[in-house]
Each structure stands twice: as structure tokens, then as C-alpha cells.
Amino acid sequence: MALLEVSDLRTSFFLRSGELRVLDGVSLEIEAGEVLGLVGETGSGKSVTAYSITRLLKQPGRVVGGEVKWDGRDLVRLWESELEQEIRGKEISMIFQSPREALNPVITVGRQLTQVLRIRRGMDRREARAEAIRILKSVYISDPESRLDSYPHELSGGMAQRIMIALALSCEPRLLIADEPTTGLDVTTQHQIVLLLRELRDRTGMAILLITHDLALAAQLCDRVAVLYAGRIAEMGPIGHLFRSPRHPYTAALLASRPRLGLQGDILTIPGNVANLMRPPGGCRFHPRCPNATQVCAQQQPPLEPMDPGQRVACHNPMPQRQELAASG
Amino acid sequence: MGSTRLLLYAARRILLIVPVLLVALFLTFALTRIVPGNPVDRVAGPYISLERRAELKHIAYLDRPFYEQFALYLRDLSQGKMGTSYTTAQDVSKDLRQRFPATFELVTYAMLFAVAVALPLGIAAAIKKDSWIDSIARAVSVLGVSMPIFWLGLMLLYVFFYFLGWLPGPVGRTGSAIRFAEPITGFLTIDALLNGDFDLFLKAVQALILPCFTLGFVAMAPIARMTRAVMAEALQSDYVRTARSLGLPFRVVVLRHALKNALIPILTITAAVYGYALGGEVLVEIIFAWPGLGQYSYNALLSSDFPAIQGFVLLVTFVYMVIYLALDIATAALDPRVKY
Amino acid sequence: MAVEERNLIAPGAGLTAAPPVVGRFSDFVYQLRGNPATFAGLFIVVVIVLSALLGPVLARYDPYAVDLGQSAVGPSLAHPFGTDQYGEDILTRVVVAARLDLFMVLSAVGASMLIGVALGAVAGFFGRFFDEGIMRSQDVLQAFPRFVFAMAVAWALGPGIVTVIVATAAINIPGYARLMRSLMLSVKETQFALAAVAVGNSRWRLLWRHLLPNCLTPIIVLSTLQCGFTILEAAGLSFIGLGVRVPQAEWGVMIAMGLQDFLQGHWWIYTFPGLAIAFAVLGFNLLGDGLQDILDPKRRRV
């Protein structure tokens, strides 16, 4: 059984001007120890998916349907207190974008860390301090003893992100949800964080849900990738297959639009704008921008179906499989 | 951060009070001299001989140039003398010392009441936004800020004293009790308890209820409103989301994460409200015939008692400055982002 | 996989059209409808202004007509708000007082706004000496508790309408100065200001035509709220006897008159003027808060 099984998750934001259906039936699963990437454009609903799983959506968002099964329990239907005491931190942890804003500016980093250790792992002051130092060392923070007394605004972006990772890992969760963890960091630091996450996964065996718009980042870290468009999964599969033989036209277009060395001519773009989530297009949400669109695409939403070579695709007219893969089977 | 640096900061700020205080003093002094005519003529009336008039003017330094008067005032001030009151014939500093405890007790209890109600109310309203408690908090805030304090006092007095007879009327600190307690702290309530005089304690409390509530209700409103606003903002912040994502109990998140951030704006508005209370208590004392600084200043204004008015403004301004000094130091201590 | 005959839909079809541009006034009305408190505030302020303008004209009684035979009569059909000790009709006086109070308040707020904004703009725009000097002077003004300072100024100047205006204006100036200064500092560094300078605007033109209009919104909000507080302070001064004097029809004065008769239980003499004050201040506060919500893009109704 998969560690996390999301089925037909629906989340909406209730604005005064209407209901914004941000997630409209998202289904995915993560196995223990695997790294699943969730990629998509801005506004596709990636972060909202993460917050919906742990029910940390900001007002006026709300989960309106679907299931999130963790160890057989449906997180959507749990009491808030159960979620707080049993799931968050202990089983599922999160790290966020803009780490400096995600840390409390008036409390030292050390206090924030030891507070979690004392409250959630029942340690006393001495134990917590020692453990905090150990955790900081494990995320490669230099001079951890004095780092404990720093405030978030005194940290660099990369260091703050490491502290966030330290916090998230302090209760030894089985799943880490990383929401755009490298956005805003410089390239070198991004690379370091990626390496760190990889090492942590190898060492602790925890699973990671990596949310990003950066395909290259996904390529470095993920085992499988799910592509999200306008609140629905377009395609999902092992990363190698997806990159070499994308079946969904959107995935293909995303891959084709990456700038490459030696590229001649204009960068390929996807025509049109991201779907309006207040009044989404009928049928397949991508059909207004899709080169393969036919009549049925405007009428019927395609279901997510398994397709060679080992991917799942939601499309009426998927791209043909690439020849070399077909040959190798 | 270091506590030595904080102490140095405090010392620097204390020193800075002195020049501001001097300028404020000068301003007050100048204001009293704008008044047309001179104090002696205004107060003494037409039936005093010219010699006596000149003599009085001489005593009050009024026959000297302005700057000399100010210098002499400063000299007296350094010796603890603030000039002789025209109405009580004592040194103004003595008057103020006698009147201070009554006002201090009133304002302190009122502010304690205000904070004790405003803080939980604001926090509860922020947690349960758009609930019934939020509506109450908002209604109370907006009403409290809109009511004239002297009108509220009169209304309460009418209902609870005149109409229902539950509480004593405007006769001062002890209601109908004539006895007084040995003044130890100046707080009648505390002194009564320390003296073992429970009956006096009850009477003092009864007399305090209405004036404290009047002052406190108006003080509570802006504090509750600010608390609600900053707590609501803090609860929607990213760091609160992080704390919740770690499974920290909500109580901890609210009190140890959100509130810590909200504290500084709340303290700031409390200091401002204290300043408002220093003015409002004048009105409250007039209505409730409270024998404090407010009533003293009211009588002084009516009888053109220049030294008394000056002394009152000086004292109240000094207290206000001390409050703001405390606020500055507290802000520096609480917020690590402030440089000092 | 064989390629089928397809009925391709051209890419780009089916995209929703751009939302229509909404006019500013209709947008304002839309915001108001979603915020009933603000609407109530606006309504109250309009009522007060109308009373001020039309009150004396529509009044049934002369507000200063002494009629000792009708002294201190409770509310009745003839006198809905009762009469005071001199037999003057309170309803009439309350309505007439709106004119005086509104006049004083608008003058005071207007004066303090002009002076404070000018000081703050100069301090923020020119900086250095001007900034230091102006801000230190505001520090001194703000060292006094507001009402106490107003009392001192009012006492020094002697009772009267002008005194109330001057005293209440004086305590409002630092608020405007500080706000304007911080607005000016932040707007000075914005991209469009730098662009305006790059294009060749002179300093004065920059200040007047580009920077000031952008600082307008918070100033308007502050002014609306200040109107409310100033009503309270003006009434307070008159209540003590330092402002407008008996027997003028002014809300604070009327409450003072009510205090005189308190022990006789003539509650109507002070209750109705107080209600009028509370009502007026409530209106300005609701309106000011609502304007803040409407004009601050982050808090609008979406």
C-alpha cells in the first residue's frame, strides 16, 4: 500500500466574486522512500495541493472533496486536533518558499528548534539543546552552537532554508513536503539544497513530495513526476520516461519550451493564457491551447489512464510514444 | 543582544528626556504668559492697594523679564519647589503630591481593567474571525472610541447611582465612609487591606467601580481593536503556518508565536492610550468629584492659578514621557530587529 | 499508432474573453455594498452635514429662547428631547449645535492638515536639516498628552470658538506631519518618481504634481478619523468651560449644563447631546475605517 494516496482531491477558494476551483480532482500516490515531483506553471495549484494534504490552507481556501489516505486514514476527515497531534510534524512535515519569512522573526532559531523538540519529543532543556545541535550538524550548518542564538533576519537564504529543513526533520517524519524549496536562492545554493535533500532521503528513507516549476530541479531529485495543469493531473510517471517520451501535449510543450544551449530561433512558447479557474474551459482544461485538440476534448474530461511506457496520462489524443522507448519495451 | 547594551540604550534614552522636558517646560511657561493681563491682576481683584499688588508681583517674580522668570522657575524646580498656588497657598509640589495618589490609583486600575479585557477579547476575536465574539469585539471597539468619556460617566452615574442606587455617587474615593487609612502605598484599596480595615476596602472599591469603568471602557476600545488586527495578521503569517505544520499545539502557536509578534504594536497603542487616559481622567474626576490631579487642575484653570496649572501640566507630561520611555526600551528588548 | 482523421480545433479558441473594465464610481458603490458598516458611516455623516446646513432653517423653536416656565421639562410631544434649565428646546439646540461643532471640527482638521502635511512634505522631501528640525519640533508637541495640551492652549487663549479651533488643530499637526513625512520618504524612492526625475521634472513639479497626489489616500483616511476625535476634544474643552461657553448651542456645553442639574435627575439635558456626539463620532469612525478598507488595495473585496 502506498504511503500517501490522494484521490480526486478538490479544493476551492471562496471569494466574494465566486468559487475559484483551484484543484479539480487531483489524484496521486507516493510510496515510502520515493521522491515524487509535482510540477506545473504558476497558478496550476501545486502549493495548494501541498496545503490541502496537511489542511494548512489560508483563508478563504477549503478542501471540498476527495480523499487523502495516510496509513489508511483519511486526513480530510480527521479532527483538527488529531491532525495536529498525530500527523503534522511527526508523520508529515513541510518546508516552504521564502524560508526567512517562514521563521518567527522575534524568536531565536535555537529556541524555535528546541521548542519543537521539547513539546513534540518530550525532551528536557539539555537534551533538546544537544539534539538541536546534532540536527543542525546533519544539515551542514557550520558552528551550530552559536547559530542557535541567531535570529532569522541574520541568516542568509540558504542557511535559513537549512534551518527550515532541520525544523521539519526534527520529529523524524515519514514524508517531507517541499514547496518550492529552492526558489529565490542563487544557483549554487540551490544545488547544495538539492544535494542535502537527496542525502537526507538516502539516509533516513523518508519520502519527499517536491513541488516546483523548475523541471531541471525535478530531474535532479525525483524518481517520479506528476504534471499539474489548472488543478488536474495531466500526466504522471517515472522521470526518465516522462522526459524522453512525454505523452501529454502539455508536458511535451513544457519540455520543448526550455531554453537550451545551441538553440536556433525563438524559444517555443505555449499559446494562450493559463486557464481561468473561475470559469474553466469545459472538458479537458488544456484544450484551448492544445495542438492535438479535437471535438471530444471540449466536451469530456479525459480520465487519467495508464499508457505505455509506464506512465499515466489524461488525454484523448496523447502524443505518440517515442520510437526508441517503444523498441526497448 | 546583551543586557549591557540594553542598559546603555536605556540610559541614553533617559538622558534624552531631559532636553525634551526642558523645551516642554518652556512651552508651558510661555503659554501661561500669553494670557492677557498678568496673574496677579486676574486673581487679586480690584480692591487691593497698588503697593500690595506690586508686592505680590514681586513675590511671584512677575516684575522680572521673561527669561529671568523662567530661570528662576528652573532654580526653584531643582530645589523641589514649584511656586505657590494662589488657591491653596501651599507650594504646588506639595499640592501635587497630595493629589497624586488618588489619580494614580484611578488610572492604574482603569488601565489594568482595559488591558485585562482588551487582550483576551482581541485574541479571541482574531482566532474566530467573523464569529459572534468578533462582532462583539468590533462593536465594543467602535463604540468605545466614539463615546465622549464625560458623557459615559454621567450616563453610568445616572443608571447605577441615581436610578438603581447600587453604587455611591460622586463624593470621592471613600463613598460614604469618613475614615481614612494610614497611607502606605497611596492606593486606598491596598492601604485599607494592609490596615486590616475591610469595610474601608469595600467602600473604596465601590467608589472606584464607576470611574474606573468609564475610563477603562474608553481605553479598552483602541487596545482591543489593535490586538484583534495584529493578531489576525500574525495568525495568517508564514511563520505561524510553519509552527502549525510542525504540529505545535494551537495554544502554543497563538501565545508563543503570534502574540510575541503582536506584542509590540499592542504595547505601542497601550502607551498612546495611557496618554489619552491622562487627559481623560481630568474629565472623569470632574464628574465623579474625585480628589485627584484632574480636579485640582480643573479648579486651577477656573481660578487662573498659574503655578498650579504649570505644575500640573509639567507633572502629567513627565509621566507621559516616562511611559513612552518604557515603551521604547520594551520595544528594543522585545524586537531583535531593532538596532540599538 | 495510426494517425486518425482529425477534426482539429484551432489552438486559442475557447479562451475566455478579458473581464470588462469597471468604472470607478460603480466600483466604489460595489465596495460600499459589501461593507455595510462603511455605508452606515457615510449615511451618518451625511445626516450630520444636512443637520448642520438645514437645521437652523427647519427648527421649530429658537435655540436661545429662554422660557423659564418650561424649565427642565422631560421629553414630550412638544419637546421630544425635553428642555433645559432655561426652557430652551433641546432637540432644536442639538440640531443647531451640529452646525457649530461641524464648523469647528472641519476648520480645525483642515488647518492642521494643511500645516501638518506641509511640514511633513518638506521634512520628507528635502531631508537633512529640515527633517531634523521639523521632526524635533513635532517630538516636543507630542510630548504632551493630547487633551492636556489642548486644555493648556485653550486656557491661555481664553474661551471662544477660535480657541477651540486653534487648540484642537495644534494637537493634530504632529500626526499629519509624521504621516506625510513617511509617505514622502517611501514615495520618493519609487520607480516612477525616479523616472519622473530622469525625464527632467524640476523638484517643485515633482513634489507637487507627482508625489503629493500619491500620498493623498492615507491623508484622507486620517482626516476622516481625525474629524471624529476632534469632535470629542472640542466637546470636552467646552464641557470644562475652556471652549465655547454657556449658553451657546454646542454639544459639550449642553452636557455641562446637564451636569449642573444632575442631582435633580434631569437626565435628558445631557443624554441627548451626548448621543449626538457619539453618533457623529461613530459616523466618522465607521467611514474612516471603511475608506481605509476600500482604498487599501490589499483589503478590498475581490
- Dump pLDDT digits (tens) for B88-117: 778 888 888 888 988 999 999 999 999 999
Chain C residues with CB-CB distance to A under 8 A?
1, 6-9, 11-16, 34, 301-302
Give A39's pLDDT tier (boundaries 50, 70, 90).
very high
Helix axes B293-302, B306-334, angle to 10 degrees: 140
Cell of A51: 496545503
Across A15-29, A203-217, A252-266, the highest mean pLDDT is recorded for A203-217
Share of chain C above pLDDT 90, in %: 24
At A3 the pLDDT is 87
Q: pLDDT tens digits for B38-57?
A: 666 666 666 667 777 777 67
Interface membership of A105 toward B (CB under 8 Å): yes
What chain B residue is nearest to C287 in terms of C-alpha separation? Answer: B142
Give A291's pLDDT tier (boundaries 50, 70, 90).
confident
More confident residue, C137 or C230: C230
Work out the minimum CA distance from B57 to partner chain C, whole angstroms: 19
Tell me if B246 and A106 make a contact (CB, 8 A cut-off). no
Cell of B180: 481614612
Q: Which of C8, C11, C14 sits opposite A281 (nearest CB)?
A: C14
Q: Which amino acid, one-letter code, is at C249?
A: A
Q: Flag whether pLDDT at A210 surpasses 90.
A: yes
More confident residue, C273 or C128: C273
What chain B residue is nearest to A149 in terms of C-alpha separation? Answer: B1
Q: What is the mean pLDDT of residues C191-217?
A: 71
Chain A residues with CB-CB distance to C under 8 A?
15-17, 271-273, 276, 279, 281, 287-295, 297-298, 317, 320-321
Would you call the peptide bond into C80 cis, given omega within 30 degrees of 0 as the criterion? no
At C49 the pLDDT is 87
DSSP labels, A124-177 = -HHHHHHHHHHHHHHTT-SSHHHHTT--GGGS-HHHHHHHHHHHHHTT--SEEE
**What does the longest C-alpha to C-alpha distance in chain A come to?**
68
The candidate with the shortest Cα–Cα distance to B280, out of B320, B326, B228, is B320
Tell me if C14 and A298 make a contact (CB, 8 A cut-off). yes
More confident residue, C77 or C228: C228
Would you call the peptide bond into A309 cis, given omega within 30 degrees of 0 as the criterion? yes
Q: pLDDT tens digits for C82-121?
A: 888 888 888 888 888 898 999 999 999 999 999 999 898 8
pLDDT below 50 — which residues of chain B? 1
What chain C residue is nearest to A15 in terms of C-alpha separation? Answer: C302
Q: pLDDT tens digits for A275-288?
A: 777 777 778 888 88
Q: pLDDT tens digits for A113-126?
A: 999 999 988 889 99
Q: Which amino acid, one-letter code, is at A213?
A: H
Helix axes C161-188, C90-126, angle to 10 degrees: 40
Give C207's pLDDT tier (boundaries 50, 70, 90).
low
More confident residue, C129 or B185: C129
Which chain B residues have a beta carbon less than 8 Å from that of A103? 239, 242
Return the exposure string of A6-43: e unless at least 16 CB atoms fall within 10 Å of the residue's CB, then b. bbebbbbbeeeeeebbbbbbbbbbbeebbbbbbbbbee
At B182 the pLDDT is 65
Give C4's pLDDT tier (boundaries 50, 70, 90).
very low
At B181 the pLDDT is 64
Query: Residue length, chain B?
Result: 340
Q: How does DSSP classify residue B292?
A: S
At B213 the pLDDT is 94
Residues 214-253 of B with CB under 8 A from C: none
At C261 the pLDDT is 83
> pTM for this one?
0.85
At B268 the pLDDT is 92
* Cβ(A177)–Cβ(A50) below 8 Å: yes
Q: pLDDT tens digits for C137-169?
A: 888 888 889 999 999 888 888 888 999 999 999
Query: Mean pLDDT of all residues in chain A?
Result: 86
Work out the minimum CA distance from C42 to partner chain B, whole angstroms: 15
At A329 the pLDDT is 43
Q: Which of A51, A87, A104, A109 to mutate to test the interface with B (most CBs of B within 10 A)?
A: A104
Say which residue the cell 502605598 belongs to: B185
Q: Flag whether pLDDT at A272 surpasses 70.
A: yes
Tell me if A294 and C7 make a contact (CB, 8 A cut-off). yes
* Cβ(A225)–Cβ(A239) below 8 Å: yes
Cell of C219: 491623508
Work out the minimum CA distance from A307 to partner chain C, whole angstroms: 13
Residue C8 burial (CB count, 10 A): 12
Burial class (CB in 10 A: 0-12, 13-18, 19+), A177: buried
At C18 the pLDDT is 42
What chain A residue is nearest to B260 in terms of C-alpha separation? Answer: A106
Work out the minimum CA distance from B238 to partner chain A, whole angstroms: 5
Q: pLDDT tens digits for C24-79?
A: 666 667 666 667 788 888 888 888 888 888 877 777 777 777 777 777 777 777 77
Which chain C residues have a beta carbon less than 8 Å from that of A288? 11-15
ipTM of the complex: 0.86
Q: Which of A276, A294, A321 sits opposite C6 (nearest CB)?
A: A294
Give C264's pLDDT tier (boundaries 50, 70, 90).
confident
d(Cα B215, Cα B111) in Å, to the nearest integer?
8
- For residues B317, B322, B328, B329, the Cα torsion angle rounded to the nearest 10 degrees is 170
Q: Flag whether pLDDT at A109 surpasses 80.
A: yes
Cα–Cα distance list, B98 to B34, B176, B199, B296 (Å)? 29, 21, 23, 10
At C20 the pLDDT is 45
Which residues face A209 on adjacent strands? A36, A177
Q: pLDDT tens digits for C173-192?
A: 999 999 988 888 887 777 67
Query: Mean pLDDT of all residues in chain C?
Result: 80
Q: Flag whether pLDDT at C5 surpasses 50.
A: no
Tell me if C278 and B28 make a contact (CB, 8 A cut-off). no
Residue C59 burial (CB count, 10 A): 15
At C191 the pLDDT is 67
At A258 the pLDDT is 77
* Cβ(B179)–Cβ(B233) below 8 Å: no
d(Cα A210, Cα A198) in Å, to the nearest integer?
11
Which chain A residues have a beta carbon less than 8 Å from that of C14? 281, 287-288, 298
Give A174's pLDDT tier (boundaries 50, 70, 90).
very high
Cα–Cα distance list, C65 to C56, C77, C87, C187, C258 (Å)? 13, 18, 8, 55, 18
At C11 the pLDDT is 43
Ranking A73-77, A120-124, A321-325, C282-286 by mean pLDDT, the lowest is A321-325
Which residues face A208 on adjacent strands? A35, A176
The candidate with the shortest Cα–Cα distance to A114, out of A99, A100, A131, is A131
At C46 the pLDDT is 87
At C236 the pLDDT is 93
d(Cα A18, Cα A279) in Å, to the nearest integer?
10
Q: Flag whether pLDDT at C1 surpasses 50.
A: no
Which chain A residues have a beta carbon less than 8 Å from that of C1? 320-321
Give A130's pLDDT tier (boundaries 50, 70, 90).
very high
At A326 the pLDDT is 47
Which region holds residue A310: left if phi is over 0, alpha if psi is between -120 and 50, else beta? left
